[in-house]
Structure 1
Amino acid sequence: MDAGICNIHHMPMQWYTVCGAAPLKKLIILMKKCVSIPVLLVGWLCWLCSCTSGNNDRVSAEKILNTPPYAGLTDSIQQFPKNQELYMQRAVLLSQNNLHELAMADYKKAWEIKPDEFVALKYVSNLMLVNKPEEAIRLLKESLAKWPANPDLHRRLGEIYTQTGENNKAMAQYDEWAQQDSMNFEVWYEKGVLLAQLNDTPAAIQAMEKSYQVQPLNYNGLALASLYAATLNPKVITICDELIRKDTSGILNDVLYLKGSYYSDTKQYDKAMQLFNECISRDWKFADAYIEKGIIFHDLKKIDSALKVFTMAATVANTNPDAWYWMARCYEEQGKKDLALVNYKRALAIDKRFDEAREGIRRVEK
């Protein structure tokens, strides 16, 4: 039973003894007349439940910690109770086995023995796993006071603020980090990601440009190229070509896709089709490339060709809602409303927020 929830209608028999052996009817009358009695009863019952639950939890924890694979580390901890490394080893092992509540006690002990940056980050991750973001934030602030130059601490605090919906605090955190270390490409990247999530695309582009300028890498370059492509900025071609020249991490297909998307959105269909075909030849399961290729055929009013490509997209990725949606569009334009309805419904079943598919259903059902 939860220590914070007690049901007075399920009082055990010993309660009557606690209340002076009063008969049940008399007890009910007393409870109606005096507010303090039910308050005391509920409080006492909650305390009893808490004690029982706490005892059971301690017994269960001791049993787990004294059986393999934790028993050896537990014995060592008993012999060397000030050894931080032993607590960390057991905490990591417990975490690997999804015993995060038990691991939390070991991370806390390791932190108390010797606070350091590595332990702080591990402890913070554990606190988030057990849904204690407030404690994680407090620990990160305490850690940043000790190690203000640690980028991982800054990043983690910003991430947690974002996860908990405190976007203003997250932005303030990234701004503070940037003031301390303006030449750290990560701070600008993280800030750019947050700004993109907040739909402030111009500011996101500025942050990503700064990140890429400081340290041109594949992942921040790809993020910047995506923002350029979304805003039809021709700079996407330049940065994609740079990424292609130095590609060593297998991002080439994503870069080709971005270039193709830009050419498609700017009606340069021949260049776009060439790039989407290259994507598919490199990875025949690249569903997005099929879909973009099909959209080009659709825009060119080549509905039969578009339908064949969308059907292939649904074949290689049958959980892609866009594939089914565009198949439905083609069937609707061919006057095949029954097939259109089936495919609109498939798209909506995969993505419940697919408003265009929902509108398509309403349209063909009229």
Structure 2
Amino acid sequence: MKALRTLLLASLLAGAPAALVLGTPQAVSTDEADDHYRRALAHKRAGRNEEALAEARAAIRARPRHAAAHFTAGSLWRQMGNLEGALACFRQSARLQPNHAPSHGMVGAVLIRLNRYEEAIEPLRRAAELEPEDPNHWANLGAVYRRLQRNEEAIETYEAGLRRHPDDMGLLNNLAVALRRERRNEEAVALLEEAVASHADSEELQFNLAVALRASERCDEAIPHYTRAIELGRQGPGALFDLAICYEQVGQTELAIETYERYITVVQSRDAAAAQRARDTIERLRRR
């Protein structure tokens, strides 16, 4: 012991720092968790999700309150299809960092995937409150209200989002759908006409405007928007069927027949009954 004191005293007198550290070392290095986390991110960027998840979980074991590791593990579980695992990780991330909007947003998004819509409301509200500049929070919260048939609240949510993101096409389209569900078709038309004026090449806007016009019994105005949506790549038989009906209602029989025939080509392999109904309609139109 005397020799140890002599060594320390000599070091201090010489002006050199004493390299000897007394006491019990920590069981876990303060850098171990971050080392695992950095490796998790590297694996994730390289698409090695299983290795990334193993490293993220190792980071959590080394430091259970490592919020970023919980969030990354949640993202990986979600990509790998384990929604319950993802939910647990995102919830823990939100508990550890209650003002982290993405954590709350991902809790809500996973609950939507699990069809647990009532539970999704509060985390999505919190995410929108913390990070109003992210339109996804508003879109997801509005979608939850629509799923729950709470259309007025969906409309209020989409409108709140649009006040912050007036050009967001997703919010515009979803607001129009919610307005139509409340039979507020003319409001939907006005909203979509304004949007189409500056985004004429949006297939979704063109289609939704056509649907709103048809619901307002304005088929003659709906026709060019159905046509444009199809030109822009609208998939599925719905647009063709609606367009055929509009041609029929405005008395353009030949165009109606031609469009029903296009509809039959698309639908016959998946819905023989629908194809037959369209053939029956064509026969009826030809007998006129």
Question: How far did 1:196 drift?
Answer: 1.3
Which residue matches 1:252? 202
Which residue matches 1:106? 55
Of 187, 209, 212, 1:235 maps to: 187
1:152 and 2:102 aligned? yes
Question: How far did 1:192 drift?
Answer: 0.5
Of 193, 202, 205, 2:155 maps to: 205
Say whether the 8 Å CA contact 2:68–2:93 is kept in structure 1.
no
1:331 and 2:275 aligned? no
Say whether the 8 Å CA contact 2:267–2:275 is kept in structure 1.
no
Question: How far did 1:153 drift?
Answer: 0.9
Task: Tell me the amino acid that sits aligned with residue 220 of structure 1.
Answer: L
Counterpart CA distance in 2 for 1:313 and 1:211 is 37
1:89 and 2:34 aligned? no
Say whether the 8 Å CA contact 2:127–2:137 is kept in structure 1.
yes
1:262-284: CA deviation from partner (whole Å, max 9, x where unpaired): 11122212111122233344448
Structure 2 length normalisation: TM-score? 0.69
- Summarize the Cα distance change of 1:134–1:283 in structure 2 as closer, same or farther, 3 Å threshold: closer
Counterpart CA distance in 1 for 2:113 and 2:234 is 35
1:70-99: CA deviation from partner (whole Å, max 9, x where unpaired): xxxxxxxxxx99623234323554xx36x6
- Summarize the Cα distance change of 1:130–1:314 in structure 2 as closer, same or farther, 3 Å threshold: same
Counterpart CA distance in 2 for 1:212 and 1:107 is 37
Counterpart CA distance in 2 for 1:281 and 1:330 is 22
Counterpart CA distance in 2 for 1:241 and 1:117 is 45
153-162 or 290-299, which deviates more: 290-299
May I ask how many residue pairs the two structures share in their alignment? 249
Say whether the 8 Å CA contact 2:78–2:86 is kept in structure 1.
yes
Task: Tell me the amino acid that sits aligned with residue 240 of structure 1.
Answer: L
Which residue matches 1:142? 92
Structure 1 length normalisation: TM-score? 0.56
Question: How far did 1:210 drift?
Answer: 1.4
1:96-136: CA deviation from partner (whole Å, max 9, x where unpaired): 36x63x54212212445576665433310222355544443
Counterpart CA distance in 2 for 1:81 and 1:183 is 32
Task: Tell me the amino acid that sits aligned with residue 190 of structure 2.
Answer: T
Of 210, 223, 226, 2:177 maps to: 226
Q: Which has the higher contact order (CA 8 A, sep 6+)?
A: 2
Q: What residue ranges of structure 2 are gaps of 5+ in the alignment? A: 1-31
Say whether the 8 Å CA contact 2:138–2:157 is kept in structure 1.
yes
Q: What residue ranges of structure 1 are gaps of 5+ in the alignment? A: 1-79, 337-366
Question: How far did 1:236 drift?
Answer: 1.6
1:259-306: CA deviation from partner (whole Å, max 9, x where unpaired): 211111222121111222333444487754322211223446776643
Counterpart CA distance in 1 for 2:238 and 2:269 is 9
Task: Tell me the amino acid that sits aligned with residue 106 of structure 1.
Answer: E
